[in-house]
Amino acid sequence: MTPKEKAEELVNIYMNLNKVKLSDYSIIYTPTAKQCVLIAVNLLLDTKSFLISIPLQDYKYWQEVKQEVQKL
């Protein structure tokens, strides 16, 4: 999966979460979904065990995913 495809997949996951029961109008819009994905990717990239255990190529992949999310 390309970084762009992964970025789109992750944003879509957040956008399609079940509605919060506080209101029937509670939905997650694209900017909020993007923020959620960026938080998750940043946490992943900042985790030392992740950094130690993965090849540089995988680290670069997640950096590219982050950039693609920002472009959406």
Looking at residue 24, the DSSP 8-state letter turns out to be T
Residue carrying the six token digits 């190529």: 57
Rounded Cα gap, residues 16 and 64, in angstroms: 23
Domain that holds residue 51: 3-71
Structural domain count, the chain: 1
Q: pLDDT (tens digit, 9 = 90+) per residue, 23-58?
A: 556 667 788 889 989 999 998 888 877 777 778 888
Task: Look at residue 2 in the predicted model and tell me its pLDDT.
Answer: 93
Query: Phi-psi region for residue 70, left (φ > 0), alpha (ψ -120 to 50) or beta?
Result: alpha
Q: What's the N-to-C CA distance of the chain in angstroms?
A: 17
pTM of the model: 0.70
